Every structure is written in C-alpha cells, then in structure tokens.
Structure 1
C-alpha cells in the first residue's frame, strides 16, 4: 500500500523519525476496505519495491553483496533468524558486521534493524531514515507505470523499513545479512532479494489467511516464493506433508533444491539461548543456514551435513547458547514474582508456548496468573488452544484480559503505536469482554477473570492480587509483550 501525503518532518531527531514512520502505517479502515474487495495479491508490490529502491539510489542487484540468508515460515522464523545471526557473529574476524532484519519489534522499532545482534543506535536510525525519506521526496516515478506513486507519496510502513534496512546495511558495510520475511514470501517486500546465499523455511501453519490462502498448500506456495535459481533451500523436518510437497514443487520450479534438516543429536545437551524444546528444530535449521554462508565465504572448508549425527563446530554451539531473543519463551524474575513471556499469536505457536509454560511450572506450588491480549486474530480460538495445552497439569487462579494500549493515560509508547486494529473495539473492550465470557465457559476451575484497559493497569493489578510469590504467563500478542517490557523499563522493582 502506498501512503499519500504523509507528514513532512522539519526536524531530524529519532523522535521525528518515529513520528514520520508511524504516519506510514496502514489504518484499520483501509485494511478492512481492502479485505472486502477479496484481493489477496497485490502484483505491483515487487515492481514498486524495485522502483522505490531506484529512487533511493539502488538496483536490486546491489543487495546481492550483502550475502543474504532469507528465512520464511509460519512459526519460528524470527528465532531461526536470531540463531543464525548469533552463529555468524562468532566469526567476527572474517565477518565483522552481520546485519539482521526482523519483525515485529517489541520495545523499539530499532530492534528490526540490528548489526551484530544489537539494534542500531537512535542517532544512526534517524540519520539513515531521513536519507531514505529525503531521497524519496526529491525523486519521482513515471505515473504511466506507477499511477499510485504521486509526488510526495511514500511506501507503507513495512516496505519503508525494508528499504531502510538495505540502505543501512550497505552503508555500514555488512558482510552478511539475515532477513526474516514479513508475511508469506512470494509478494513480500523482502523478496526483492535476487540472489540470496541460502533460503530457509521454518514450520508451516495456518496464518495470515487473507493474504496467503486458506489451506496449507496455498500458504506453502506463498512461502516457497522466496526460492531462487541455484540458491540452496532448507526446511525443518516434520513439515505438514501437503505443505512439504508444494515446497518441493516450488523448489523445482525455481531450479533449486530443498533439503530437510534433522534435529542434531549434539543439541540434546545444549541449553539454547531461546528456551523451549521446539527451538532445537529452529536451531538445527540455523546451523545449516549459517554453514552455507560460512562455506560460501571460504571460512568453513566443508559444509555441515543435514543428518542428525553430523558434528557441530564449537563456535556454532556458543552462538546458539548466547542467542538472546526477548519475548520468546522468556523468563523474568521481578521482585517476588516470576514472569513467563511469549508473544505467541498463532495456533501452533500458542500450543508450543503453553506447553513450555506447563512443563516449566507444573511442579510449582505458587499461584498462577494468565495475562492475555490479542486484538486482530481469533482471540477466543487462541485462548481455547492455550487452555487445552496447559490442562489439567496447570490451572490459573486469575486470568486478565487487556488491550495493547501501553499506559493508563490511554496512550501508546511512541514506538508501539498501532493503527491496524479497530479503535472502537479497543475503547469498548469488545474483545476483552468476549474473552472473559469465553474463559468462564471453558474453565472448570473457576479462575477469577479481570478486564483492564491498558497494560500498565494490568501490571499494577497483578502486583496487588497476592502478597505471596506468583507465576505469571504472558502471551497472545507481541504487542502485549512489547508494551509490558516498556512498562517494566519504567518501573524499578527491588
């Protein structure tokens, strides 16, 4: 989607950049209008990405020098990207700068564009942001070919950030970059990448059906759209069989190979930096993806084999152990309480996260609290998946349903402003009230239900509920997780 007449910023600070960036968000009304047309495919997306790139001074071929790892999938693609980046980061003497582009962000939009695992600074974000912004303002597109690109228009939020990431990584001299697809693959803005070093596909599932299709075959077709000729592609084992068939067909169409990666036996006794038994599959895929980059860069003499018995270099193990990825099976001890945090928001990820929580706390005698938010997907279905996964081993004493608004003032943290949900539904707590009623129906243990208007209020409620220590499970939305971490940053707990 192209945004017309965005804000014209006078200043050049990070705050100015975030304000300008937020003006590029698609609003809820526009999204619903597009959905009502039934048009899933915007065939102009990649043509426009090429044109936007030209206007900021790049051809798509310029991005080939970034030695890119391109990752898609439904569940675990962010974790796999983080694992891959961390492994590559262990070879700093040969690859001094590793870029990482992921979405969404938790606390700050800068998290989407990282170098050597760290978000770029506010100063650099603002610098590169306005270089891209100003180049777009000073250039035009032929309206006969791109009728929506009227003077002053800008690409949408995610497309702009994708352009910004390419510009940043090239200007910073990154030797390899890991790119996580936004949605799907075939028409994702990151698919402007022409010659990645390697492609990876994490576990497939049903999500983003409006854009990708209603069946696992349609979704697999979209995900397989990132495959490129002569670029090896790899995927995790235990893919849905129908999806795997389509992925293999797509690989053949694109004149490349698709290889399944077994979970490496050597990982059985390794404590990964991202918790959860299911992460070993993502870590195994990351090992192979990193191996391809290091081999193509003449750093490894031999590629690592995909069989489960293949030996893993020590630097790879260190990279996996040191991976830090907030909001995914994350445990935080704050004061007397322990928080178990995962931004799961699909059926498969909710089951995985809930199973992790259940297995971790099932022997704990402490009271249990659930803090949940999901504003745009089928929230009741997700809660049902959660309940089935934890029962009967874990029961909740209190269940809190909140919006994704950050503060009691009714405002969002600047980096967390979201225009992609119905503001009326948020203000009237429609989803939260529906969730509370649904929980009362499915929960035989009669947990107390609460509804709060914002994340700050929900946190205060949790702190007041019990004098004794409690275990809190936070899930359903990365918007919730990000907002909660921002609230934590402001509050000091002894």
Structure 2
C-alpha cells in the first residue's frame, strides 16, 4: 500500500464532514441526538478493537459546559503536567481546533505529531474498512462506512491515548453531554461543568433547564462532579437532580482567594472561575489516583498547592483572550461565540486596550445569530470604546478563495459565503448601532484580505478579533504567513 501521510489523513478526514444541506435538514426536522449516538460510538469502538470498558484505564476527567469548558480543560492539563513524575502520558481531547486538527488530540500538552496523527488515523480507517456491524442493529454502519467528522476524531483520540499508554486523560464534551460522542466513558475519575448558557438550542433545547439536563448527562456513579459558582439557579437545580439520578454528588466550586494573586496563563479576569474549577477537578483526580491524600476544602480561603498555581501560570491556550504584538499592530484575539462569552471577551478588550491607539473590529460568525452577538459586543464596550473601523469577513482563509487544508468547512452554506450575505447584514447592523461612516465599515471575502486592510493603516492600532473560533484559527494561520 502506498505511503499515506498527514495531508492524506486530513483529506480523508474532511470527506467525513457533514454538509450544510444535511445539517439544515436535521435542524428543520427537530431531530435531536438520542441514545443511538452512544450505541454507535460503542459499536465503532468495537470495530477498531476496543470494549468501552477498556477506556476505564485512561482515568478520564470529563468536562462540559457552555462557556469556558475548553479553558477549564487546558488549566486542568496545566496543573496535572506538574505531576508528570507520578503520571504517565497525559491525554487531552478538545474541540474545535485553530490552526491544525492535531491540536484536538494532545499528549502532555502538545498536539500529536503529523507522523503519529497519520499513523493512528489510518489504523482506525483500515480497521473500519475491514470490519462490519450487525445489519439489523446498525443498518447504516456497513463495512467500510465511517463515522462523521467529530465522532471519528473522538474514536481516534481513544485509540491514540490507549496506544500511547495514557493513564490520565481530559475530555472536553463536544456538544451537550448526554448524547455526546465522548459520553461512552463509563468510569471517569471526576466530572466538571463550566458556566451554563443558551447555545446549540436545535440540539440541546431552548431553556437553561433542558441544556443543564443534557450537560448533566456525563455524570456517573462514583465520580464526584463539580460545577462553577454562579450558575443560573434553574440550571443548578437540574444539575443537582441529575447528580442524584446518577448516584453521585455535585459541589459548587468557589473562586479561590489565593488565585487572585496568580498570573493565569490565560488572560481575562473571568478566567479565575475556570481556573478554580480546574483546581477542584485536578485535585479530585489526584486524590482518586492516591497521589494526593486529602480532599480539597471547597472554601474560598482554601490553601492551593504551589504546584497547582505553577501549572495555572504555565497554561497556554491560544485564541482565548490572547494578545499578539506585531509592529504597530496589537491583536486582541478571542473565539467567543455565545452571549456570555462575547460579553466576557468584550469586557476584557474594553479594559486592556490603549486609549491613545486606533481601534478596529474584525468579526465573523457564520452560523449562529451573528447580529445578536454583535449587539452584545457593542453594548459591552460602549460608551468607553469607539471603533475607528470595523471589518466583517468570511472564514475563508486566503484571497484565492481557498481554506487552509485543516480548516476546510463544508457545514456552512457555500452560496451564502460566496455572496457575503452574513457579512453584508453585519455591516448594516454595525452602521445602525454605531452611526459609523460608510467608508469605515468593510466587508471582505477572506481573512487574508481583511488583514491586508488592517496592515494598511498608518497608525498604531489595536484590533479586536472575535466572533468565532473558526475566524480565530484562520487569523492565526494567515498571521503566521504559512499557506497549507
């Protein structure tokens, strides 16, 4: 068989993306995820040689939430990396990725190499080609059939972590929890729920109670659960009910006083909430493995081990309140894409930007209610911040019309992108909100074109890049100057 490398793996993976028409059909039908999603993942696992009980040896920390679950996972990894002498390889599975799909599957804090990715990718691919399922139970899982994009990567992560001998793994839920592809984990050491909010309503429900029910679906008997403070009262009540159903406990984690004196590796005042939750999760995990002996006191005044604060300081998580300086331009970058996260990121930018520099907004959100998110942003920064210009771009990477290979997206409307429909609507919304002059509100067909506009400004400028992790990923690729 011909040698198959990383780009071959990425091309094969992209073929598994759900196209836009299918997504719209599912949304229109009101068909939300159900238990078949879990049964399929169990069957896919069997097809590549595992019983789901095999994954118990990974000692999974399972994290869900609406806002901050990725940052919480990163902080948790940062803490546990301080205990590498007592742990073997540490795995981290998150989504989405920014520059490279390899970022979703990390070993000891680093994305797996291209060589490892392609090796394990095609091992899974070939096993699925060589095996079959019971056609009566799984008529849509015939020999050679593959799971969709996210499911495949979840399956791949299990294979990678098993083969690499990980005995600690952190899993960020993709969407929801109850029916998420990661929820075949049977015996996590601990579960976490970051801040709840309204998002993915077509899959999770329209109310905070429905969303909390889905998030609480990751709870398992014998695995303590922890949640961030200040959850909506109705959501917290449902989480407590779900914990009781699963014969476990859920505890609220305070903001630990001592963390106010720590320079967290992820910027933003609100990150102290995620860092506190990560502290509780990592501590419980280490207790469950008998590395630490005494449970953490869930009191704001609790003493936090210095190894924990060192891990929190060293945590790196791109695209979340990230600052990049480049000559006369300072980029303030955050992939916020929900009401709560947009407000938090906008508050961060409002507080850190320099008063004597020009300010530019670079924004896109291709699939959610983009105009509403833009209004939340404007309301948060006003009246302190007034932007000198705003640019609304697509998520297309290059001026040629091409995406970076790792950033190909089939789950948005190509026609809508080509016609710049979302961008033109955002342009009009921004004009109505700010009364900004026509020539200061731009629409571009690519991220590269947007950056060319900004780099043409003959002044010191602060640029707020926000609205989508897909936008942020494309921005980072273009800013790196590497066409892939």
| Same fold per superposition (TM over 0.5) | yes
2:207 to 204, 209, 215: 215
Q: Deviations over 1:172-226 (max 9, x none)?
A: 1112000000000000000000000000000000000000000000000000000
Matching residue of 2:366? 375
Distance 1:38 1:18 in 2: 31
| SS across alignment from 1:99 | strand
The alignment's TM-score, normalised by the length of structure 1, stands at: 0.96
Between 1:435-444 and 1:215-224, the stretch displaced more is 435-444
The answer as to whether partners of 1:263 and 1:308 remain within 8 angstroms in 2 is yes
Matching residue of 1:3? none
Structure 1 ranges of 4+ moved more than 6 A: none
Distance 1:445 1:426 in 2: 24
1:292 deviation in Å? 1.0
Matched, 1:168 2:152: no
1:372 deviation in Å? 0.3
Distance 1:351 1:476 in 2: 11
The answer as to whether partners of 2:91 and 2:105 remain within 8 angstroms in 1 is yes
The answer as to whether partners of 2:59 and 2:169 remain within 8 angstroms in 1 is yes
The answer as to whether partners of 2:228 and 2:254 remain within 8 angstroms in 1 is yes
Q: Deviations over 1:362-389 (max 9, x none)?
A: x521000000011000000000000000
| SS across alignment from 1:341 | strand
Matching residue of 2:193? 201
1:112 deviation in Å? 0.1
1:419 deviation in Å? 0.6
Matched, 1:16 2:8: yes
Matching residue of 2:133? 141
Matching residue of 1:481? 472
1:39 deviation in Å? 1.0
2:70 to 55, 64, 78: 78
1:444 deviation in Å? 3.8
Matched, 1:424 2:396: no
1:331 deviation in Å? 0.2
The answer as to whether partners of 2:131 and 2:144 remain within 8 angstroms in 1 is no
2:393 to 402, 406, 413: 402
Matching residue of 2:224? 232
Matching residue of 1:288? 280
Distance 1:446 1:239 in 2: 41
Q: Deviations over 1:74-118 (max 9, x none)?
A: 000000000001100001110131100000000000000001110
Matching residue of 2:238? 246
1:151 deviation in Å? 2.1
2:80 to 56, 69, 88: 88
| SS across alignment from 1:328 | coil
| SS across alignment from 2:395 | coil
1:42 deviation in Å? 3.2
2:143 to 144, 151, 157: 151
| SS across alignment from 1:47 | helix
Matching residue of 2:333? 341
Matching residue of 1:52? 44
Q: Deviations over 1:282-335 (max 9, x none)?
A: 000000100011111221121221111110001100000000000000000011
Matching residue of 2:91? 99
Change (3 A) 1:10 1:213: farther
The answer as to whether partners of 1:13 and 1:126 remain within 8 angstroms in 2 is yes
The answer as to whether partners of 1:17 and 1:130 remain within 8 angstroms in 2 is yes
The answer as to whether partners of 1:203 and 1:236 remain within 8 angstroms in 2 is yes
1:230 deviation in Å? 1.3
Matched, 1:472 2:470: no
Q: Deviations over 1:157-182 (max 9, x none)?
A: 00000010000001111120000000
Q: Deviations over 1:418-477 (max 9, x none)?
A: 01111000000000000000111010454810000000000001001x211100000001
Between 1:52-61 and 1:444-453, the stretch displaced more is 444-453
Distance 1:240 1:431 in 2: 31
| SS across alignment from 1:434 | helix
Distance 2:25 2:427 in 1: 29
The answer as to whether partners of 1:350 and 1:382 remain within 8 angstroms in 2 is yes
Distance 1:18 1:277 in 2: 37
Distance 2:315 2:458 in 1: 34
Distance 1:446 1:353 in 2: 25
Distance 2:29 2:300 in 1: 47
1:132 deviation in Å? 0.5
Matching residue of 1:4? none
The answer as to whether partners of 1:395 and 1:445 remain within 8 angstroms in 2 is no
Distance 1:132 1:195 in 2: 24
Distance 1:330 1:159 in 2: 29
Count, aligned residues: 482
Matching residue of 2:322? 330
Distance 2:390 2:459 in 1: 17
| SS across alignment from 2:35 | coil
Runs of 5+ unmatched residues, structure 1: 1-8
| SS across alignment from 1:154 | coil
The answer as to whether partners of 1:346 and 1:382 remain within 8 angstroms in 2 is yes
